[in-house]
A and B are shown apart, each in its own frame.
Chain A
Amino acid sequence: MAKIEKDQFEEYLEQHAPDEEPSSQLFDRLQKEAVWNQPTADTGPAIYIILLAVIIIALVVVAGIFAPVEADKPAEKPVIQPVIKNEPVHIIADAKSVFKEKGAYQLMKNRSDDFNLSFSADKNCSSLFDMSRELNSSDI
């Protein structure tokens, strides 16, 4: 009995089912958005934009090929020279006594008594042409 009542109630509800429909404008709005209603001319600018992008990319690639390679070279590693430790030199002779004074003058003086650049021995103070010589310390 209860089952029959339930069915009857369901039938009652069914008889009073809502019959609302969405507005017709909704279908029109959807049709406007539909891909099959989009004008094909709209694809024109898109193609030009894609072509332009391809050209720009090609230019960038070409520029990259001809760019100086140095920029891409990795930085050279500094070469570290091995440290050579010089051993202390063994002194086999000391020239201190001989070369106490610098210059060829002293060398000549020590090596030969005959050779004397000093004008003190030139008593005449004259040149080959018998011309008197003036002594000037700055000429020495």
Chain B
Amino acid sequence: MKNHIDTTEILKVYRENPKKGFELIYQNYSGPVFRYLRNSFNLSREEAEDILQNVFLPWVKEPEKLFAVENLSAYLFTSARNAALKLKNSGRIVEMTVEPSRGSHDENVEAGLIIDRALNELPVEQKEAVVLKVWINMTFEEIAGLQQCSLQTVASRYRYALAKLKELIPWQK
């Protein structure tokens, strides 16, 4: 993630003081992982929160088992992704109409809803590439690691997704 979070420092704090370290981890990653789940896999708030809870639960219950984690972002997003795909493959997810994933304070709620609808027209991998690249600020390398595919594949998915979204979203008006 191209942000200013020093994950090495966070993990160091977590190893020395799990309580304080977990607060930092939750503060920096709960939102992005939650939004990733909601927008990439079309999950309801409850489903996304359930997965998020399962992702973070080991970090509060058995800290010593997670001291060896080196790539915090990859670990959290991979855990969330695996859980979401498992839930999706189990058939328990009811395909829902677009549930607003933006707060009511958004200046342009309507535009947000149009984007959400357009995203739902894309295949999961393409939608995931857009969400991770544009909204989570992941690099193509990080997305490739998460999706377990090559850089070229991720770049192609992203390019196709943007082209399709441009057709669906009246963004220049």
A residues touching B (Cβ–Cβ < 8 Å)? 6, 9-10, 12-14, 16-23, 26-27, 29-31, 33-36
Q: Mark B134-173, 1 if CB is under 8 A from A, else 0.
A: 1100000000000000000000000000100110010100
Stretch of B27-35, B69-77, B120-128 that contacts chain A:
B27-35
Say yes or no: is B22 at the interface (Cβ < 8 Å to chain A): yes
Residue pair A30, B35 in contact (C-beta under 8 Å)? no
Contacts of A17 in B (CB 8 A): 134-135
Contact status of A26 and B30, CB under 8 A, knowing A13-B115, A34-B19 = yes
Q: What would 20 more interface pairs be, CB under 8 Å, given A20-B34, A23-B49, A30-B57?
A: A6-B162, A9-B165, A10-B162, A12-B171, A13-B134, A13-B135, A16-B106, A18-B35, A18-B38, A18-B39, A18-B101, A19-B103, A20-B31, A20-B35, A21-B34, A26-B53, A27-B30, A30-B26, A30-B53, A35-B61
Band of interface residues on B:
35 or more
Cross-chain contact of B34 among A6, A10, A22, A29 (Cβ < 8 A):
A22
Contacts of A6 in B (CB 8 A): 162
Cross-chain contact of A26 among B52, B101, B112 (Cβ < 8 A):
B52
Q: Which residue of A lies closest to B105 (CB)?
A: A19
Cross-chain contact of B60 among A14, A16, A20, A35 (Cβ < 8 A):
A35
Nearest first, the 7 closest Cβ-Cβ pairs linking A and B are: A34-B60, A18-B101, A36-B19, A22-B34, A17-B135, A12-B171, A13-B134
Contacts of B38 in A (CB 8 A): 18, 20
A-B Cβ contacts below 8 A, count: 82
Residue pair B19, A13 in contact (C-beta under 8 Å)? no
CB distance from B127 to the nearest CB of A (A): 12
Residue pair B135, A14 in contact (C-beta under 8 Å)? yes
Cross-chain contact of B63 among A20, A29, A30, A35 (Cβ < 8 A):
A35
Interface residues of B, dominant DSSP = helix
CB distance from A17 to the nearest CB of B (A): 5
Q: Which residue of B lies closest to A13 (CB)?
A: B134
CB distance from B128 to the nearest CB of A (A): 14
Contact status of A19 and B162, CB under 8 A, knowing A30-B60, A35-B61 = no
Residue pair A31, B52 in contact (C-beta under 8 Å)? no
CA distance A10 to B18 in the complex (A): 38
11 pairs of residues in contact across A and B, judged by CB atoms under 8 Å: A10-B134, A13-B115, A14-B134, A14-B135, A16-B108, A18-B112, A22-B31, A26-B53, A30-B56, A33-B61, A35-B60
Say yes or no: is B93 at the interface (Cβ < 8 Å to chain A): no
Contacts of B45 in A (CB 8 A): 20, 23
CA distance A6 to B160 in the complex (A): 12
Q: Which residue of A lies closest to B37 (CB)?
A: A22
Residue pair B134, A26 in contact (C-beta under 8 Å)? no
CB distance from A13 to the nearest CB of B (A): 5
CA distance A33 to B63 in the complex (A): 12
